[in-house]
Amino acid sequence: DTAVSQTPKYLVTQMGNDKSIKCEQNLGHDTMYWYKQDSKKFLKIMFSYNNKELIINETVPNRFSPKSPDKAHLNLHINSLELGDSAVYFCASSQTTGSNEKLFFGSGTQLSVL
Amino acid sequence: AQSVTQLDSQVPVFEEAPVELRCNYSSSVSVYLFWYVQYPNQGLQLLLKYLSGSTLVKGINGFEAEFNKSQTSFHLRKPSVHISDTAEYFCAVSPEFGSARQLTFGSGTQLTVLP
């Protein structure tokens, strides 16, 4: 069983479209995250979500919005896609919010905006 | 604020040779240190972490890392690498008593093991 699963694995779309990426974790973790990995492999946190508390990285455009229907799911919605949004997006989870926690990552969604 | 520098973007090494991947960090507070590995087309997996205690930390797949506070380093080592160790390796740091969302990653080191 995959601990953190995200779909789709690949997403190719046109500029201006709206798209969603789904993420589910079956670990019973309290906290979930979205990360963006750019073409140089640099990883940057976008959001963290814990017990309905959403913390947004201030550099993330408001075209990006996470939605959590329950503790096991954190989906990412992106409106009006731009070329610069092309990247690999990773969902992750951790047992708690502590800075000593191990993060469990999904296998990533490669988003290509044409 | 904290930062992580991985000094080598690419490290090629022959199979069964030893390897060291270098990581230096900067922080105004005490930190926790991590190494994650990313195999092709996969997410990151934790290799090892340093929280406190012994400065030599052993992880999975025969890797180990040593925390050196005076040099603010956390280098990753393996005495004998295998082809299957080919992957991207990320060093990361978070503030002690902080939040996991404060985890800061380095830019990664691509380890390529040659036959």
User: Per-residue pLDDT tens for B101-114?
Assistant: 899 999 999 999 99
A52 touches chain B (CB under 8 A): no
A41 touches chain B (CB under 8 A): yes
Q: Tell me the pLDDT band of B8, cut-offs 50, 70 and 90.
A: very high
A2 touches chain B (CB under 8 A): no
* A99 with B105: Cβ contact below 8 A: no
Which has the closest alpha carbon to A41: B33, B87, B22, B99? B87
Reduce the DSSP state of residue A72 to 3 states and report it: coil
User: Per-residue pLDDT tens for A15-32?
Assistant: 999 999 999 999 999 999
Question: Which of A40, A90, A97 shows the shortest C-beta gap to B100?
Answer: A97
Which has the closest alpha carbon to B30: B58, B52, B4? B52
Rounded to whole angstroms, how far apart are CA atoms B73 and B76? Answer: 10
> Per-residue pLDDT for A98 more than 90?
no
Chain B residue with CA closest to A6: the answer is B43
User: Per-residue pLDDT tens for A63-73?
Assistant: 999 999 888 99
DSSP state of B83: G
B67 touches chain A (CB under 8 A): no
Query: Who's near A28: CB < 8 A, 6+ residues apart?
Result: none
> Per-residue pLDDT for B50 more than 90?
yes
Chain B residue with CA closest to A55: the answer is B101
Q: Tell me the pLDDT band of B19, cut-offs 50, 70 and 90.
A: very high
A79, A14 in Cβ contact below 8 A? no
Alpha helices in chain A (DSSP H): none
Q: Tell me the pLDDT band of A1, cut-offs 50, 70 and 90.
A: low
B4, B74 in Cβ contact below 8 A? no
CB atoms within 10 A of CB B63: 21
B109, B24 in Cβ contact below 8 A? no
Distance from CA of A29 to the nearest CA of B (A): 13
Rounded to whole angstroms, how far apart are CA atoms A108 and B5? Answer: 24
Question: Which of B36, B88, B101 shows the shortest C-beta gap to A48?
Answer: B101
